[in-house]
């Protein structure tokens, strides 16, 4: 905290409670608390990951509140909004209210008349960035985001230039927008052999890794199909999947159907940052992203990357320098070709060397400091209006 700047009382609210947005939420709450600010964190237990809850509870924040919120829009949103208003009334007054994800962002920005508290919103990928969203869904969600962004938001934080450009397309004015790229802490090291042994992988295996929620957005079925296509020619190849989600049963069925069960491990307990120590090539097959923490952690760990061409990819990956970019398509032939290319030891060594040189670019402290700066700006603008 800078000299002569008073501590702030901040409310942070998140619906997904896991994945990349959960990582961001925990890191931001921890960083703000370490700088002397009083942070109350509200999360939804509906989709909460156990590891996220443990980490959040371990921060010793001013208060942590479990408040049910559903991802889908529905009549229960009113009860969630009323419960959140009670938190604001009983645990406030707050200097800043910051909503993360579309649902928490909407619930924190709809408000009753009264003294204005600056409302900050971080979408962590607009719903309208999903290429599979129907035209009707794009119209409805786009209209909601545009209206909330223009009229009920003090600052909207985008985590990549791609997301910023998309916000402009939704009609949100540039004066409301800022880009703050996610950051990661020091990556763990020294447990490669131990982690490989834990999963039964030979020490000399070629391990492709996937870290993320097993959901339609992350498209894990693309990776299974591509790995199955190259597995026969690469007997030393293994696949480590770190994550869980609504598609897990289907992913396991796909693995069994393709006859690769002895080559693939799925685990939801080991943190992705730890798993990266055992991975030779990190593969992300997402249909859309804003700025994925998995990308950043892979880049910070110096691991060669194979990424679909989505938001944030250009922030961490130069094609054929520290990894390969593949088309964002359900045709898995380009992905399989990229995985086969990185099976070549010389190619992988070259890309790994370039990846390691870039590992110090993605610090979490800068993310916390820039976010806090936007809080201060929003407060100053509010005082000027009054």
Looking at the fold, whether 159 and 75 belong to one and the same domain comes out as: yes
Residue 140: per-residue pLDDT: 93
Rounded to 5 degrees, what are φ and ψ at 372? Answer: -60, -35
CA atoms within 13 A on the CB side of 384: 6
Does 174 reside within a domain? yes
Query: DSSP characters for 359-372?
Result: TTS-BHHHHHHHHH
Give kind and range of the element (H or E) at residue 22: helix 19-34
Q: What integer pLDDT is reported at residue 198 of this predicted model?
A: 97
Answer whether residue 1 is part of any domain: no
Regarding whether 228 and 84 lie in a shared domain, the answer is no
3-class SS at 1? coil
Token output for 334: 């380009």
Give the list of residues 6+ apart from residue 130 with CB closer than 8 angstroms, or none. 217, 287, 288
Shared domain for 44 and 161, answered yes or no, is yes
So what's the pLDDT on residue 117? Answer: 95
Question: Measured between alpha carbons, how far is residue 107 from residues 77, 84, 120 in Å?
Answer: 8, 8, 12
DSSP class of 8:
P
Residue 4 covered by a domain = no
Residue 317 lies in a domain: yes
Residue located via tokens 């997904």: 16
Q: How many domains does the chain have?
A: 2
Residue span of the structural domain in which 236 resides? 192-357
How remote is the C-alpha of 347 from its chain's centroid? 29
Q: Which residues of the chain have pLDDT under 50?
A: 1-3
Instruction: Let me know if residue 2 belongs to a domain.
Output: no
Tell me: do 28 and 154 sit in the same domain: yes
**Radius of gyration for the chain, computed over Cα atoms and rounded to the nearest angstrom:** 21
User: 128 and 215 share a domain?
Assistant: no
In a shared domain, residues 75 and 141:
yes
Place of tokens 């209006």: 385
Are 171 and 221 within one domain? no
Q: Looking at residue 232, what is its pLDDT?
A: 96
**Residues 206, 341: Cα–Cα separation, whole Å:** 12
* Dihedral (CA of 123, 81, 368, 285) sign: negative
Max distance between CA atoms of the chain, in angstroms, equals 69
Distance CA 264, CA 333 (A): 20
Q: Do 142 and 242 lie in a common domain?
A: no
In a domain, 3, yes or no: no
294 and 217 in a common domain: yes
Q: What does the pLDDT read at residue 384?
A: 63
179/198 same-domain check: no
Tokens coding 88 = 């604001």
Residue 276 lies in a domain: yes
Strands (E), 67-173: 96-100, 119-122, 155-158
Same domain (yes/no): 325, 267 = yes
Q: What is the CATH number of the domain that holds 346?
A: 3.40.50.2000
Whether 96 maps to a domain, the answer reads yes
305 within 8 A of 279, measured Cβ to Cβ: no
- Going 46 to 49 to 50 to 51, the CA torsion angle's sign is negative
Do residue 349 and residue 219 come from a single domain? Answer: yes
State the first-to-last Cα distance of the chain, in angstroms, to the nearest integer: 26
Residue 289 structure tokens? 């992203």
């Amino acid at each position: 905290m800078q000299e002569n700047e008073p501590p702030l009382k901040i409310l942070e609210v998140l619906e997904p409670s896991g994945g990349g947005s959960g990582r961001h939420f925990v890191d931001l709450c921890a960083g703000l608390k370490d700088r002397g600010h009083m942070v109350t964190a509200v999360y939804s237990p509906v989709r909460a990951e156990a590891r996220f809850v443990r980490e959040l509870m371990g921060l010793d924040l001013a208060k942590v509140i479990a408040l049910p919120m559903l991802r889908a829009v529905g009549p229960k949103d009113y009860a969630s909004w009323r419960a959140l208003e009670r938190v604001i009334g009983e645990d406030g007054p707050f200097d800043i209210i910051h909503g993360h994800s579309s649902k928490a962002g909407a619930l924190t920005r709809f408000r009753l008349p009264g003294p204005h508290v600056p409302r900050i919103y971080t979408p962590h990928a607009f719903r309208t960035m999903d290429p599979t969203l129907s035209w009707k869904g794009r119209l409805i969600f786009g209209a909601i985001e545009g209206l909330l962004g223009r009229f009920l938001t003090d600052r909207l934080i985008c985590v990549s230039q791609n997301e910023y450009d998309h916000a402009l397309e939704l009609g949100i004015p540039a004066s409301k927008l800022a880009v703050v790229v996610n950051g990661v802490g020091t990556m763990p090291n020294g447990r490669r052999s131990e982690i490989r042994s834990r999963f039964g992988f030979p020490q000399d295996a070629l391990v492709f890794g996937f870290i993320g929620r097993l959901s339609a957005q992350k498209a894990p079925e693309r990776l299974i199909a591509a790995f199955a296509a190259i597995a026969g020619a690469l007997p030393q190849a293994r696949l480590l999947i770190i994550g869980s989600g609504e598609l897990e049963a289907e992913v396991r069925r796909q693995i069994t159907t393709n006859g690769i069960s002895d080559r693939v491990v799925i685990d939801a307990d080991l943190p992705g940052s730890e798993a990266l120590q055992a991975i030779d090539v990190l593969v992300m097959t997402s249909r859309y992203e804003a700025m994925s923490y998995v990308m950043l952690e892979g880049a910070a760990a110096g691991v060669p990357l194979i990424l679909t061409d989505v938001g944030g990819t250009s922030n961490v990956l130069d094609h054929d320098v520290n990894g390969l970019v593949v088309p964002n398509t359900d045709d898995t032939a380009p992905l399989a070709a990229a995985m086969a290319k990185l099976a070549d030891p010389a190619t992988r060594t070259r890309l790994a060397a370039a990846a390691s040189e870039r590992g110090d670019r993605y610090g979490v402290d800068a993310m916390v400091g820039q976010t806090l700066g936007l809080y201060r700006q929003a407060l100053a603008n509010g005082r000027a209006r009054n």
